[in-house]
Amino acid sequence: MSAPLAPAPFPVRRPCDLRASAASSTPWLIDQLWTAQAVGIIGGTPKSYKTWMALEMAVAVASGSACLATFAVPSPGAVLLYAAEDSEPALRLRLESLAQYHRLDLADLDIRVITADSLRLDRTSDQERLEATLLLHRPALLILDPLVRLHAIDENAAGEIAALLGYLRLLQRKTGVAIALVHLSRVVRYASVVVQRYGRRVASKIGFAHQ
């Protein structure tokens, strides 16, 4: 009977041997608002402009124009977007409105919309397809809206949510994309107030009701 194999140790490096960022790289995808390697949440109460905020970020990153006319975009890039609740005509209308607000042509924006009827982050096959899509299109930003429509796990179960967020962090490390999740929160926190404040500014200027 052969002896059991000893467990392989985790790989370890000294700090001076870790990969360095390129000299021209910046930690900010949107200056002072969203880092280039973030996995974060655009959170807020119902009807607090969360989707408007996410789409404003998409237009800013895709065009290089200042987000909310305030936050610079040092390194513009493509944006990949999945909107689980908006129909194609509704999503196009929103994006056209924001493009006009920025004085841009929608056709010139490098925003790519996933048009699949369903995308489930807790399903292995969909995880694999999402990674393949990111590797094919190489966006700077991935927007998933809203998180609640993209899984069937219990959001009150810390272990299940931790596993989902762990998968998203691993996906970010594999692909280098920044990830923004739009998420409903009925608890008003600072981030929610910021989304409402700036999202209201955008929605009011282009003449739309908040959503």
With a CB cutoff of 8 Å and minimum separation 6, the contacts of 100 are 206
Is the full-model pTM beyond 0.85? no
CA atoms within 13 A on the CB side of 6: 3
Give the residue ranges of the chain where pLDDT is below 70.
1, 21-26, 186-211
Superfamily of domain 40-206: P-loop containing nucleotide triphosphate hydrolases (3.40.50.300)
At residue 193, the pLDDT reads: 45
Cα-Cα-Cα-Cα torsion 148, 149, 154, 160, nearest 10 degrees, comes to -90
User: What separation in angstroms does the CA of 62 have from each of 36, 94, 182, 205?
Assistant: 14, 15, 18, 20
The token pair at 32 is 């002072």
Rounded-to-integer distance, Cα 168 and Cα 58, Å: 19
* Sign of the four-CA dihedral 7, 128, 75, 102: negative
Q: What is the pLDDT of residue 191?
A: 46
Per-residue model confidence as pLDDT tens digits over 132-144: 999 999 999 999 9
Cα(127)–Cα(154) distance, integer angstroms? 18
151 vs 21: CA distance, rounded Å: 34
The encoded tokens of residue 197 equal 């404040």
Which 3 state secondary structure label does DSSP give 182?
Answer: strand
Tokens of 115: 């048009």
pLDDT digits (tens, 9 = 90+) for 67-94: 999 999 999 999 999 999 999 999 999 9
Helix (H, G, I), strand (E, B) or coil at 130: helix
Buried b (16+ CB within 10 A) or exposed e, 63-84: bebebbeebebeebbbbbbbbb
Determine the Cα–Cα distance for residues 196 and 53; give it in Å rounded to an integer: 9
pLDDT of residue 186: 59
pLDDT for the residue 190: 44
Closest residue by Cα to residue 144 from 110, 171, 174:
171
Helix, strand, coil shares of the chain, percent, nearest 5, are 40, 15, 45
- Under a CB-based contact definition with an 8 Å cutoff, are residues 48 and 195 in contact? yes
